[in-house]
Structure 1
Amino acid sequence: MDTSKLIGGRFKVKDRPVSGAMGDVWPAVDTKLGRTVALKFLARRRLRQQGAATEFTDWTVKRFGREGVAMARVSHTHVAQIYDTGEHEGELYIVMEYVQGRSLAAYLQEGPTLTLERTVRWTREICEGLYAAHSSEVLHHDIKPDNIMITNEGKVKIVDFGLASFADVTQSHTGVGTALYKAPERWAGSPGSVRSDLYSVGCVLYEMLTGRVPFGSPQDDPLTVGRMHQDNSPAPPSAHRPGVPQQLDLIARILLAKDPGERPRNAEAVAVVMSDIQHSLGAEDVAIAMGRPHALDTADSNAGNSERIQELDRRIFELELRLGPHGQEVIEARTEHAELTGQSGDARGAAALYNRLGRDCQEFFGPYDSRVLNAFEGVARWIARSGAG
């Protein structure tokens, strides 16, 4: 593609694209409004070369335009805004909000599993964004960690609304990335619904809780994974990660129900449940530890912990940008983040955060620095509290 020309008469491409199976994403400057945007191209030629099941026609191009109009109606803090659609040198593109941050997939690849607080909070935000889209009659069709961005402020932005829907028309849609999160009814030929998106949310929640998808792996044949989605029942997340609250086991099971009618009626219902879990996260553990199993103030205390953890997420991002990852204020904020995670009831999450901090401090300051020893002391302390031994 010739990037020396203005795309659509106004967008000047900068830097290099990020390539994916469906096309490329280019950062660009909107010369008219003076803002950075993302141009996502749907690579028709590439799809044809890969054996796309349906050829592009004038009808599909018109549908792409209609999808853009529908997506532009969705305005929500947890959905990447769509600004425009167009065509350049035979390739269709969408102009969308430029999100500064990393994908959820990148967080999951770091390992170990996410803390419970982040898992619950990000699932709530995913569902809030989905409900806004569904209310505008826009389905996603491809909810997965790659399509969930986490901003530098620690907030969810769902990307690729409508583009995934359009992809269904143009190809068989059995790529592995989709197969791992695709609802059973869609394997049976159904076009999908609100509840199909919620099934995919269940797969993402399961992976955030356990570090693994409920069915199969990226190395498995997609059709084999499809049969698992249709026929198998996954173990509860707590079977893979002791300490997962019973409420999260339950909501994961409901979201992953084979029958769409047994799943929640809409994404808002899931967001409300996740908000309740977020505010009570660890409440029972803390109350028992204090000798007050029925303490009334525990939920308020843990809601405060959650808010402080969110604020620390933002503060750590900001400090790392200003001071670099080895700044003393960054180390102190990460230590506080680990402690609050443990105090919220997620002892394993606290141990994981301390372990990552300890390894980073080893690299920054050497193996015998006091900050390294303090971090690994935190690992041992919170592992002991988790009962993992």
Structure 2
Amino acid sequence: MDTTRLIGGRFRVKDRPVSGAMGDVWPAEDTKLGRTVALKFLARRRLRQQGAPTEFTDWTVKRFGREGVAMARVSHAHVAQIYDTGEHEGELYIVMEYIQGRSLAGHLKEGPTLTLERTVRWTREICEGLDAAHQRDVLHHDIKPDNIMITNEGDVKIVDFGLASLADVTQSHTGVGTALYKAPERWSGSLGSVRSDLYSVGCVLYEMLTGRPPFGGPQDDPMTVGRMHQDDTPAPPSAHRPGVPDQLDVIVRILLEKDPGDRPRSAEAVALVMSDIQHVLGAEDKVVESGRGHLPEALNGSTRHSERIEVLDRRIFELQLRFGPYDQKVIEARMEHADLTGRSGDARGAAALFNRLGRDCQDFFGPYDTQALNAFEEVARWIARSEGGNRSGTGTLS
């Protein structure tokens, strides 16, 4: 390709390209706006030489153009911005934000295992970027460490939205990089969905936590890896890395569910959960019992109650991740959790939990929602019990 003349009448190539399976990325100067951009070319000739299907026709060209138009509408801090699309000497290209940094794959190769704080923060940012794209009905189709850039400031930028949707058209299902992170349903021929992207996030999170993908490795036969995705269940991350919080084991398990309907409903839901965990972890890579962080210290009920509360706490966590905070199953589980907290001896804790539930129901369903009113009745009941216990000198709270 002749790079001595301006590409698209305005872009001047500045350096050598970085080559990938789908094409080359050239740093270039935008002579019109005076900024550095990245020009990513879709190498049609090379793909055909490598055995890509000959059906790469006008339909795929139009699809590529539509993807560029869609992504141009997505403006988010954790998504590499697409500025324009074009064609030069018969090769399609997109004009992208130039990112100074390196890929997550590069970070994973240098070892040792990433800190928990960094893992949780980057997973949150990946999901925030994905959610912004999903809100525009744009799927990525190829979330993997190579397509997640980490800037020199330590922030996530998801790349390759403009090309990833073409991967299944221009490549077979046997690409190793894709095989390690591809959802089970996509091995059966499905084009994928929001929850397919989230499965890939689960694979990436697993690798950040353990240093290895959940199934196979780059040296393994891709079709064998595909059967693993469809049939096998990986060991929890904590089995490979002692000290991984229980909540992260749960998140990984739900993200890697075989049935898409059993995975989280949205990238936003995962981002919110990761944000909560990030607050608990703080800036240190340490073991925390984050699954019970909101329970009051005064809780000193029986062992049976404590175990049931812990089970309910995990159950609520899973239901919220799958169905959202206001699903009926979540509300019923929160009711049971608050009531059991009171019966364990923590009346004030029960009142606080019911009060929070009542306010949440009012915010979502309206001020006269029956569930909210029932929750507030429980608040009064448990407050009365708490005050009665303190007056009689038999209460368990200080």
Please indicate the TM-score interval, normalised by the length of the shorter structure. Answer: 0.7 to 0.9
- Alignment partners' CA distance in 2, 1:212 and 1:109: 10
Q: 2:218 is matched with which residue? A: 218
- Once superposed, what is the RMSD of the aligned Cα atoms? 1.8
Q: 1:312 is matched with which residue? A: none
- Alignment partners' CA distance in 2, 1:159 and 1:287: 34
- Contact 1:54 1:169 (C-alpha < 8 Å) held by counterparts: no
- Contact 2:243 2:287 (C-alpha < 8 Å) held by counterparts: no
* Match runs of 1:132-211 below 5 Å: 132-211=132-211
Cα displacement (A) at 1:195: 0.2
- Contact 2:206 2:214 (C-alpha < 8 Å) held by counterparts: yes
The residue identity in structure 2 corresponding to 1:127 is C
SS at match of 2:41: strand
Total equivalences in the alignment? 292
- Contact 1:138 1:162 (C-alpha < 8 Å) held by counterparts: no
Cα displacement (A) at 1:90: 1.1
- Contact 2:280 2:288 (C-alpha < 8 Å) held by counterparts: no
Q: Runs ≥4 in structure 1, deviation > 6 angstroms?
A: none
- Alignment partners' CA distance in 1, 2:264 and 2:58: 37
Q: 1:20 is matched with which residue? A: 20
**C-alpha distance 259-95 of structure 1, shift in aligned 2 (>3 A):** same
- Contact 2:25 2:41 (C-alpha < 8 Å) held by counterparts: yes
The residue identity in structure 2 corresponding to 1:27 is P
The residue identity in structure 2 corresponding to 1:196 is S
SS at match of 2:161: coil
Matched, 1:110 2:110: yes
- Contact 2:182 2:200 (C-alpha < 8 Å) held by counterparts: yes
- Alignment partners' CA distance in 2, 1:264 and 1:179: 21
Cα displacement (A) at 1:295: 6.2
Q: Mind listing any 5+ residue stretches in structure 1 that lack a counterpart? A: 297-389
**C-alpha distance 254-134 of structure 1, shift in aligned 2 (>3 A):** same
Cα displacement (A) at 1:233: 0.3
TM-score w.r.t. the length of structure 2 is: 0.71
Write out per-residue CA displacement over residues 272-307 of structure 1, whole angstroms, 9 at most, x where no aligned residue: 00000111127995799xxxx9669xxxxxxxxxxx
Q: 1:387 is matched with which residue? A: none
- Alignment partners' CA distance in 1, 2:296 and 2:60: 59
SS at match of 2:166: helix
Identity of aligned residues (%): 86
Cα displacement (A) at 1:54: 4.1
SS at match of 1:143: coil
- Alignment partners' CA distance in 2, 1:10 and 1:157: 25
Cα displacement (A) at 1:254: 0.3
Q: 2:387 is matched with which residue? A: none
Matched, 1:81 2:81: yes
TM-score w.r.t. the length of structure 1 is: 0.73
Matched, 1:129 2:129: yes
Q: 2:62 is matched with which residue? A: 62
Cα displacement (A) at 1:63: 1.6
The residue identity in structure 1 corresponding to 2:74 is V
Matched, 1:238 2:277: no
Cα displacement (A) at 1:166: 1.7
Write out per-residue CA displacement over residues 64-106 of structure 1, whole angstroms, 9 at most, x where no aligned residue: 1111101101100000000011111111111000001111000
Q: 2:270 is matched with which residue? A: 270
Q: 2:42 is matched with which residue? A: 42
Q: 1:248 is matched with which residue? A: 248
Cα displacement (A) at 1:167: 2.3
SS at match of 2:264: coil
The residue identity in structure 2 corresponding to 1:199 is Y
Larger Rg: 2
The residue identity in structure 2 corresponding to 1:280 is V
- Contact 1:287 1:295 (C-alpha < 8 Å) held by counterparts: no
Matched, 1:31 2:31: yes
- Contact 1:209 1:237 (C-alpha < 8 Å) held by counterparts: yes
SS at match of 1:162: helix
- Alignment partners' CA distance in 2, 1:295 and 1:131: 36
- Contact 1:25 1:40 (C-alpha < 8 Å) held by counterparts: yes
SS at match of 1:28: strand
- Alignment partners' CA distance in 2, 1:5 and 1:173: 37
- Contact 2:175 2:222 (C-alpha < 8 Å) held by counterparts: yes
- Contact 1:101 1:151 (C-alpha < 8 Å) held by counterparts: yes
- Contact 1:238 1:249 (C-alpha < 8 Å) held by counterparts: yes
Matched, 1:280 2:276: no
- Greater Cα offset, 78-87 or 160-169: 160-169
- Alignment partners' CA distance in 1, 2:192 and 2:151: 29
- Contact 2:76 2:132 (C-alpha < 8 Å) held by counterparts: yes
Q: 1:385 is matched with which residue? A: none
- Alignment partners' CA distance in 2, 1:285 and 1:235: 19
